[in-house]
Amino acid sequence: MQDKEGTASGTRIAVELNSVKGFFFDTINTLSAPVDKRILQDALDQCAFYNDLLSKTVPGSDVHRINNAAGKPVQISAHTARIIEVALDIGRQSKGALNIALEPLIRLWDVRAQNPRVPKESEIQEAMRGSDLSLIELDGQTIRVPEDMSVDLGGIAKGYIADRIADYLRSRGVNSALLNLGGNVVTVGKRPDGQLWSIGLQSPEGLSGVEYFAVVSSSDNSVVTSGVYERGFDLDGVRYHHILDPRSGYPVSNGVVSVTAIGSESLMADALTTAMFVLGKNAGEQLAARYGYQCVFRMADGSISYTDGLSIKLLA
Ligand code: ADP
Ligand code: MG
């Protein structure tokens, strides 16, 4: 229980979970914990700060300044520097599957648009020029990106923010919480009744009934899922979704419908899910293992595979 100052009293009483919801980063974020709602609201308020720091469309954000610096060095916050450091590392380790310099291509496809369209091949080729990650120079909190390049942290920022919100809640004495930032789930401690948290992995068919295909048990951990069903559009029977293959310039089409990464840091798990999606099952599983993360792949033929030893219950 929490007193009014938000310090932990240490007693475990049967308490109800309170929840707050907010729409940031183009998605619904839900924070739940057996504490006063004001603490959760304070945590949610921090999402606005991170949105204004990391969104490429907010003038003055770190990412906006990077993308408008015309090749000059830019000073960025330690938050942004850390996210980009991990992005560049996983970018290299995944042979460019995770590529934060794919921004022009992401903008071209614009799968969230009101009337999305399939771009012309020539437009795709043009947008892919200037996506060479090795040209980005990051030195501490100074970054230099060539003039004809721009970055998009959409594939990893939410993971980092989820980690920071969990830290914030811990600093306010919260020892039990469940955070869900649009599929980036972080658990703080165990459930108020002392059990592990159960995290449902959303079914691709979720839209039409079956909500989850599996449940993963978690405590002080991160469970991050990316799926083709999340954002995208259908045209002439083809699904065009939001994870793009940097090699082809088209939405990934390798039979993967959802990828989950499980491990201590949500930033890492988020970066890995996007990379693993592009790499496909075998290379994706190897990448996760290299970083000590567990994973679940769900394929279009309905098959499910996961890391040995993962605490998972299949429902479908
Ligand atoms: P979400 O939780 O929004 O589904 P993901 O972690 O699945 O996010 O990342 C998808 C987002 O990452 C896209 O909306 C786009 O902004 C960006 N993106 C798409 N393809 C890539 C890629 N190959 N490398 C890096 N970022 C990408
Ligand atoms: Mg991701």
List, for residues 187-245, the tens digit of each pLDDT value.
999 999 999 999 999 887 655 556 899 999 999 999 999 988 767 888 888 888 899 99
CB 286 within 8 A of CB 274: no
pLDDT at 297: 97
The Cβ-side half-sphere exposure at 114, using a 13 Å CA radius, reads 0
Range scoring the smallest mean pLDDT among 129-133, 135-139, 274-278: 129-133
Residue in 59, 61, 89 with CA at minimum distance from that of residue 77: 61
pLDDT at 113: 84
C-alpha distances in angstroms, 9 versus 13, 219, 300?
10, 21, 49
pLDDT at 1: 34
Q: Which ligand is nearest to the CA of 111?
A: 1
Structurally, the chain folds into a number of domains equal to 1
Quick one: which atom of ligand 1 is closest to the CA of 231? 4
pLDDT at 15: 58
State if residue 272 touches ligand 1 by the CB under 6 angstroms criterion.
Answer: no
CB 261 within 8 A of CB 293: yes
Between vectors from CA 84 to CA 81 and to CA 86, what angle results, nearest 5°?
110
% the chain with pLDDT above 70:
93
% the chain with pLDDT above 90:
81
State if residue 189 touches ligand 1 by the CB under 6 angstroms criterion.
Answer: no
CA distance 90 to 312: 26
Q: How many other C-beta atoms lie within 10 A of the C-beta of residue 216?
A: 24
State if residue 29 touches ligand 1 by the CB under 6 angstroms criterion.
Answer: no
CB 240 within 8 A of CB 112: no
> What average pLDDT score do residues 139-144 get?
98
Interval between CA 109 and ligand 2 midpoint (Å): 18
Dig out the tokens for 157 from the structure. 């920022």
Angle between helices 37-54 and 78-93 in degrees, nearest 10:
70
**CB neighbour burial string for 35-59, b if at least 16 within 10 angstroms, e if fewer:** bbeebbebbbeebeebbebbbbeee
pLDDT at 210: 65
State if residue 162 touches ligand 1 by the CB under 6 angstroms criterion.
Answer: no
> What average pLDDT score do residues 175-183 get?
95
Quick one: which atom of ligand 1 is closest to the CA of 183? 2
CA distance 307 to 312: 10
Alpha helices (H) along 95-212? 103-109, 121-128, 157-171
Interval between CA 9 and ligand 1 midpoint (Å): 41
Tell me: pLDDT of 11 over 70: no
Pairing of strands 238-241, 256-263: unpaired
Tell me: pLDDT of 12 over 50: no
Tell me: pLDDT of 260 over 60: yes
Tell me: pLDDT of 6 over 50: no
**What integer best gives the mean pLDDT of the chain?**
91
Tell me: pLDDT of 9 over 60: no
Supply the CATH number for residue 100's domain: 3.10.520.10
Q: How many other C-beta atoms lie within 10 A of the C-beta of residue 189?
A: 18
pLDDT at 7: 31
User: Which residue's alpha carbon is nearest to atom 16 within ligand 1?
Assistant: 154
Residue in 11, 12, 28, 9 with CA at minimum distance from that of residue 20: 28
pLDDT at 16: 82
Q: How many other C-beta atoms lie within 10 A of the C-beta of residue 243?
A: 25
pTM of the predicted structure, to 2 decimals: 0.92
CA distance 221 to 284: 20
State if residue 103 touches ligand 1 by the CB under 6 angstroms criterion.
Answer: no
Dig out the tokens for 70 from the structure. 């015309």
pLDDT band at 25 (very low <50, low <70, confident <90, very high): confident
State if residue 180 touches ligand 1 by the CB under 6 angstroms criterion.
Answer: no
Q: What is the pLDDT of residues 41-72, one digit of tens each?
A: 999 999 999 999 999 999 999 999 999 999 99
Q: Containing domain of residue 170, as a range?
A: 1-316
Dig out the tokens for 297 from the structure. 């792949």
CB 177 within 8 A of CB 31: yes
pLDDT band at 26 (very low <50, low <70, confident <90, very high): confident
Interval between CA 117 and ligand 1 midpoint (Å): 18
The residues that bridge with 142 in the sheet, in sequence order, are 75, 139
Range scoring the smallest mean pLDDT among 110-119, 127-136, 284-293, 298-307: 110-119
> What average pLDDT score do residues 105-125 get?
91
